[in-house]
Structure 1
Amino acid sequence: MPGWLKSIRIDLTALRVSRDFRLLTAAGMVSSFGSILTMIAVPFQMKQLTNSYLAVGLISAVEFIPMVLVGLYGGALADAYNRQKLVLLSEIALLVCAAGLLTNSLLPHPAIWPLYVIGALAAAGSAIQRPAIDPMVIRYVPLEHQTSAAAFGFVQHSLTGVVGMSLAGVLISAVGVPIAYAVDVLTFLISLQLIRKLTPVPPGMEGGKPSLSSIVDGMRYAVARKDLLGTYIVDIACMFLAAPMALLPFWADRMGGPQVLGFLYASFGLGGGLAALTSGWVKNVHRHGLGVILGAAGFGVGVALAGFFDTLWLVVPLLALGGFADGISGLFRVTIWNQSIPDEYRGRLASIEMLSYLTGPQLAGVRSSGVAKIAGLHTSIISGGVACIAAVGALAVSLPAFRNYDARTDEHLLAERARRAALA
Structure 2
Amino acid sequence: MLVDVRPLHVGDFRRLWAAAVVTSLGAQLTAVAVPLQIYGLTGSSSYVGLAGLVGFAPMATAALWAGALADVRDRRRVLLATTIGIGVTSLLLWAQTWAHLRSVGVLLLLVGVQQALFGANTAVSRAVVPRLVAPELLPAANALQSMVVLSAGIAGPLLAGFLLPVVGSQTLYLADAVAVCATAWAVWRLPPLPPAGSGGHGRRAGIRQIVDGVRLVTRHQVLLLVYVCDFAALFLGLPTALFPQLSRETFGASNIGVLYAALSAGGVLAALFSGTFTRVGRHGIAVAASVGLWGLAVAGFGLSRSPAAAVGWLFLAGGALLALGVFRRTVLQSAVADEMRGRLQGIDTVVAAGGPRLGDLVHGTAGAAFGATWAVTGGGVLTLATALALLLLFPDFRRHRALDTTAPDTTVSGRPGVCVAPAAPTRPHRRA
In structure 2, runs of 5+ residues without a counterpart are: 412-418
Aligned to 1:5: none
What is the deviation of 1:422?
Answer: 5.7
* Cα distance in 1, alignment partners of residues 373 and 169 from structure 2: 27
* Cα distance in 2, alignment partners of residues 267 and 422 from structure 1: 40
Give a deviation string over 1:321-374, Cα, whole Å, max 9, x none.
211011112222222223322111111111112222222123334334444565
Aligned to 1:78: 70
- 3-state SS of paired residue (1:80): coil
- Whether 1:34 and 2:29 are equivalent positions in the alignment is no
What is the deviation of 1:103?
Answer: 4.4
- Residues 341-350 or 193-202, more deviating: 193-202
Q: Is the 8 A contact 1:138 1:146 kept in 2?
A: yes
* Cα distance in 1, alignment partners of residues 136 and 175 from structure 2: 37
Aligned to 1:385: 380
CA RMSD between the two structures = 3.5
Q: TM-score, normalised by structure 2?
A: 0.82
Give a deviation string over 1:273-312, Cα, whole Å, max 9, x none.
2222212232542221111112122223333443456865
Q: Is the 8 A contact 2:32 2:160 kept in 1?
A: yes
Q: CA 1:175/1:225 → structure 2, altered by over 3 Å: closer, same or farther?
A: same
Name the one with the larger helix percent.
1
* Cα distance in 2, alignment partners of residues 400 and 44 from structure 1: 49
- 3-state SS of paired residue (2:193): coil
Amino acid across the alignment from 1:407: A
Q: Is the 8 A contact 1:54 1:369 kept in 2?
A: no
Amino acid across the alignment from 2:118: S
Aligned to 1:20: 12
* Cα distance in 2, alignment partners of residues 322 and 74 from structure 1: 31
Q: Is the 8 A contact 2:421 2:429 kept in 1?
A: yes
Aligned to 1:271: 266
Q: Is the 8 A contact 2:139 2:279 kept in 1?
A: no
- Residues 197-206 or 166-175, more deviating: 166-175
* Cα distance in 2, alignment partners of residues 267 and 128 from structure 1: 29
Identity of aligned residues (%): 31
- Residues 154-163 or 342-351, more deviating: 154-163
- Residues 106-115 or 291-300, more deviating: 106-115
Q: CA 1:315/1:80 → structure 2, altered by over 3 Å: closer, same or farther?
A: same
Q: CA 1:139/1:243 → structure 2, altered by over 3 Å: closer, same or farther?
A: same
Aligned to 1:141: 133
* Cα distance in 2, alignment partners of residues 262 and 284 from structure 1: 34
- Whether 1:217 and 2:212 are equivalent positions in the alignment is yes
What is the deviation of 1:261?
Answer: 6.3
* Cα distance in 2, alignment partners of residues 242 and 51 from structure 1: 31
Aligned to 2:281: 286
- Residues 143-152 or 362-371, more deviating: 362-371
- Whether 1:183 and 2:183 are equivalent positions in the alignment is no
Give a deviation string over 1:2-29, Cα, whole Å, max 9, x none.
xxxxxx122211111x111011112222
Q: Is the 8 A contact 2:22 2:179 kept in 1?
A: yes
Q: CA 1:249/1:20 → structure 2, altered by over 3 Å: closer, same or farther?
A: farther
* Cα distance in 2, alignment partners of residues 158 and 47 from structure 1: 25
Aligned to 2:359: 364
Aligned to 2:2: 9
- Residues 64-73 or 19-28, more deviating: 64-73
- 3-state SS of paired residue (2:210): helix
* Cα distance in 2, alignment partners of residues 227 and 38 from structure 1: 37
Amino acid across the alignment from 1:291: A
Q: Is the 8 A contact 1:130 1:354 kept in 2?
A: yes
* Cα distance in 2, alignment partners of residues 140 and 39 from structure 1: 29
Q: TM-score, normalised by structure 1?
A: 0.83
What is the deviation of 1:249?
Answer: 6.7
- Residues 384-393 or 269-278, more deviating: 384-393
Q: Is the 8 A contact 1:166 1:266 kept in 2?
A: no
Correspondence list, 1:37-116, <5 A: 37-46=29-38, 54-104=46-96, 110-116=102-108
Aligned to 2:415: none
Q: Is the 8 A contact 2:135 2:403 kept in 1?
A: no
Aligned to 2:119: 127
* Cα distance in 2, alignment partners of residues 19 and 255 from structure 1: 47
Q: Is the 8 A contact 1:255 1:310 kept in 2?
A: no
- Whether 1:336 and 2:331 are equivalent positions in the alignment is yes
Q: Is the 8 A contact 1:37 1:184 kept in 2?
A: yes
What is the deviation of 1:77?
Answer: 0.5
Q: CA 1:169/1:195 → structure 2, altered by over 3 Å: closer, same or farther?
A: same
What is the deviation of 1:385?
Answer: 3.3
Q: CA 1:317/1:422 → structure 2, altered by over 3 Å: closer, same or farther?
A: closer
Q: CA 1:147/1:135 → structure 2, altered by over 3 Å: closer, same or farther?
A: same
1:237 to 202, 221, 232: 232
Q: CA 1:391/1:144 → structure 2, altered by over 3 Å: closer, same or farther?
A: closer
Aligned to 1:419: 421
- Residues 413-422 or 179-188, more deviating: 413-422
Correspondence list, 1:255-266, <5 A: 255=252, 263-266=258-261
Aligned to 2:414: none
- 3-state SS of paired residue (1:415): coil
2:318 to 319, 323, 327: 323
What is the deviation of 1:264?
Answer: 4.1
Q: Is the 8 A contact 1:341 1:413 kept in 2?
A: no
* Cα distance in 2, alignment partners of residues 185 and 104 from structure 1: 14
Q: Is the 8 A contact 1:29 1:156 kept in 2?
A: yes
What is the deviation of 1:117?
Answer: 2.8
Aligned to 1:295: 290
* Cα distance in 2, alignment partners of residues 373 and 51 from structure 1: 24
